[in-house]
Structure 1
Amino acid sequence: MTPRQRVLTALEHKEPDRVPIDFGGHRSSGIAAIAYARLRKFLGLPDRPIRVYDPIQQLAVIDEDILDLFHVDTIELGRAFAQEPEYWVDWVLPDGTPCQMPSWAVPERRDNEWVLRGPRGRILGRMPDGALYFEQCYWPFAEKDNPDMAAEALKDTIWCGIPSPPGPIVEGPGGLERLQKGARSLRQKTDRAILYLFGGNLLECGQFLYRNDNFYMLLAGDRSRAERVLDRLTEAHLANLERVLPVLDGLIDIIVFGDDLGMQTGPQISPKMYRELFKPRHAAMWKRAEELADVKVMLHCCGGVRELLDDLIDAGLDAINPVQISCKGMDPEGLKRDFGRRITFWGGGCDTHQTLAFGTPAQIKEHVRQLIQILAPGGGFVFQQVHNILADVPPENIVAMFEAAYEFGAYESLKNAQSKVVSRSA
């Protein structure tokens, strides 16, 4: 199978030749630039500029040689843009490694920290000395809100005001034509499944605007005002879908929405609140996306969200990521048993909370083998570690994880292993 066929087969809940592998296909399946520089050195690969495509999380652009080496089946649409040197500016990572940042998001030094400014000049993010990524430091509605201006105010939040490639390249007059041209070029160059990072966040956009504590209080204490905010956000997201997806139809395979609904201990909001406030709006966006283009809908949604999965599936979700198996309720056996026929688990292939960071290569390989045997049967599984690979993960652990994903991901091997288990049981 081609990589694209492999991914799409898994999304149809059929078994491809092997489990598809995602690495860097979106902003939560990547690798910190510090770890990426160490990985390239460990593998003895040629020196190349370390480019930071996500300035906030400090994630690296993953080069083609790594994608090939690890048998990666995915690629993010942003890789079609900002290839030329003019879009990159030299900088230095917190550990002293030289790198390049997007020209529109160059950090600025101030006292004992780095800051990122938004398009209107406001400081939106801070990275104090000793930190490894930027944190939001300005919330437009923290003191005084204007629900009808919610979509416009998002420009003054770090997650919406500091873009990754393609960034400003596809803004302004002619932007849609440039977007389509870049997407068509990428489609012609690769047979990997192409992911388009749309966003469409609702709970998170409220948190970006108000700050988490304020938005929780708005949801709980002023339902009508909260609904006004969510309506304005949904309207803006739908308008963006109407504008962008028609020019990308046939050029992308998966559209990635985002909304972190969970915590380590379970959902951030009750299932009742999700059904009343968020589910109808998610359903409207996800349905419209599939009407506008031939795409599968994936939601990046961190945390323990088992209690919400039935409603997310009912709202039209095809795949969920990152399947945070260390959270309450996210036991992989139970998830596969109860939801595996109805949703694709895009992630959950290796625990990053403890195992990938602190395990030995042998422990990691066995861990990955066990998770693949649980999540892969019947399709509906794309291998990805749980969220991004952080800066302190040893390169030998990263290599062990991807070697295991490829070695144990062949469906013929999986069937042989299951047959042996059945024989021993008999």
Structure 2
Amino acid sequence: MKPKARFLKAARRQEPDRVPIFATLTPQVAQKLGEIMGLPSQPVDAFLSDRLSYTEILLALGNDAVAIGPGRDRSKPTKRLPNGHLIDEWGIQFREVGYYTEAVVRPLSEVESIADLNAYEFPEPLAPGRFEVAEKMVKKYGNDYAIIGILEVTMFELAWILVGLEKFLVDLLWQKPYVEALIDRILDFHITVGRKLIELGAEVILLGDDFGTQRGMLISPALYRQVFKPRQKKIIDALKAVNKEIIIAYHSCGSIMPIIEDLIEVGVEVLNPIQPQAAGMDLAFLKEKYGNQLAFFGGVDVQGVLPQGTPEEVKEEVKLRIKQAGKGGGFILAPTHNIQPDTPVENILAMYEAAKDYGTYPLKI
């Protein structure tokens, strides 16, 4: 079975020849693997670069799908400022801290009104150059691999990234008029981008906003239902109008048990990443409770086992997750985040090997 068919069957809650695999990498891991494998590790310049980069490495490892998404406006590439900060087309300035970058200047940090919001220039969703890489990826890999259109940070996360988390949450609670107007502007951007990705050949769209913490929801379920749930339905309906067969996946880190049924109601078909150390996110329980409505995409612990375990412990982790969610199909094995810089190469290889060893149908575990 081709990787494309394998991935799409699992996403549709059917049983393929084996459990499909999909992982993403941090730049440090990609560089290490690229040197070992003799493959390029240059990242794509995009807002969600780690989700869209290192395709050749990931396919060589064993991924069954290729991620595409919006790149930068060709006329507004990410630049390095004299103070060493990076600035992107959204006007967000980042500084490099250890392995990662942190936002230090937010373009809407002083927004108070719709007039302030209107003074901010949003990027153009169909700007020249934005889909150059996506088009090349579909042309090169679309016949053999499933194509996932990445639209994470769909509204909530991008809104607070532009404003600042504390201010945005306070203003959200106070119902300042600019808040929902900002969310709608971001949503319109992503609806346009999502439609384009589907037109290019995406078969799965991965939406997402991190509504969970390790222990529970970042905002109340009531506030989520009031502000975000109707807008989730709006974007999903808009995407389904382009292609009714498009598969809608949804990413939220953390503990989001209170809103899983809401996600199902608005049209989510695949849930990612099922973070095992987050409260209530037990993969076996979720499969039992929601397996007739959702496929599950993730499950492999990146907080403990993958970076800190032995290769044998990683294999046992993979075996456990397949046993918990693989029965009858509807499971895509993946780490619960980008593979982090402290992860040994041998553990990455062990994860892919174990998926093939234990994931062949009919399952024998």
**CA–CA separation in structure 2 for the residues paired with 1:258 and 1:151:** 25
SS in 1 for 2:63: coil
Shift of 1:275: 1.2
**Structure 1 unmatched runs, 5+:** 24-29, 88-102, 162-167, 418-426
Conserved in 1, the CA contact under 8 Å of 2:86 and 2:93?
yes
**CA–CA separation in structure 2 for the residues paired with 1:334 and 1:256:** 23
Flag the 1:150–1:335 CA change in 2: closer, same or farther, 3 A.
farther
**CA–CA separation in structure 2 for the residues paired with 1:283 and 1:391:** 36
* Structure-to-structure mapping, 1:359-378, within 5 angstroms: 359-378=309-328
Flag the 1:386–1:361 CA change in 2: closer, same or farther, 3 A.
same
- 1:201 aligned to 2:154? yes
**Structure 2 unmatched runs, 5+:** none
- 1:105 aligned to 2:78? yes
Counterpart in 1 of 2:102?
A: 135
- 1:216 aligned to 2:169? yes
| Residue type of the alignment partner of 1:145 | E
Of the three residues 140, 157, 182, the one matched with 1:186 is 140
Counterpart in 1 of 2:54?
A: 62
**CA–CA separation in structure 1 for the residues paired with 2:49 and 2:4:** 27
- The Cα offsets for residues 262-295 of structure 1, whole Å up to 9 and x where unpaired, read as 1111111111111111111100101110111241
- The Cα offsets for residues 231-275 of structure 1, whole Å up to 9 and x where unpaired, read as 343344334445x25633xx2211122211111111111111111
Conserved in 1, the CA contact under 8 Å of 2:319 and 2:355?
yes
Shift of 1:18: 0.4
Counterpart in 2 of 1:124?
A: 93
SS in 1 for 2:335: coil
SS in 1 for 2:171: helix
**CA–CA separation in structure 2 for the residues paired with 1:132 and 1:109:** 21
**CA–CA separation in structure 2 for the residues paired with 1:280 and 1:316:** 11
SS in 2 for 1:134: strand
Conserved in 2, the CA contact under 8 Å of 1:22 and 1:384?
yes
Conserved in 2, the CA contact under 8 Å of 1:154 and 1:205?
no
- The Cα offsets for residues 353-386 of structure 1, whole Å up to 9 and x where unpaired, read as 0111111111111111011100111222111011
Shift of 1:126: 0.7
Flag the 1:179–1:54 CA change in 2: closer, same or farther, 3 A.
closer
SS in 1 for 2:207: strand
Conserved in 2, the CA contact under 8 Å of 1:322 and 1:386?
yes
Flag the 1:135–1:151 CA change in 2: closer, same or farther, 3 A.
farther
Shift of 1:334: 1.4
Shift of 1:391: 1.0
- 1:309 aligned to 2:279? no
Conserved in 2, the CA contact under 8 Å of 1:183 and 1:252?
no
| Residue type of the alignment partner of 2:160 | Q
Conserved in 2, the CA contact under 8 Å of 1:151 and 1:236?
no
| Residue type of the alignment partner of 2:282 | D
Normalising by structure 1, we get a TM-score of 0.76
**Higher CA-based Rg:** 1
**CA–CA separation in structure 2 for the residues paired with 1:341 and 1:203:** 28
Counterpart in 2 of 1:27?
A: none
* Structure-to-structure mapping, 1:20-99, within 5 angstroms: 20-23=20-23, 30-41=24-35, 44-46=36-38, 48-53=39-44, 59=50, 61-62=53-54, 64=56, 66-68=58-60, 70-77=61-68
Shift of 1:119: 3.6
Give the alignment's Cα RMSD to 1 decimal: 3.1
**CA–CA separation in structure 1 for the residues paired with 2:47 and 2:170:** 27
SS in 1 for 2:278: coil
Off by >6 Å, runs of 4+ in structure 1: 55-58
Counterpart in 1 of 2:190?
A: 237
**CA–CA separation in structure 1 for the residues paired with 2:80 and 2:111:** 28
Counterpart in 1 of 2:85?
A: 115
- The Cα offsets for residues 4-46 of structure 1, whole Å up to 9 and x where unpaired, read as 11111112211111001112xxxxxx112222233345xx533
| Residue type of the alignment partner of 2:102 | E
Shift of 1:228: 3.3
| Residue type of the alignment partner of 1:126 | R
Paired residues, number: 361
| Residue type of the alignment partner of 2:208 | G
Conserved in 1, the CA contact under 8 Å of 2:149 and 2:194?
no
Flag the 1:149–1:337 CA change in 2: closer, same or farther, 3 A.
farther
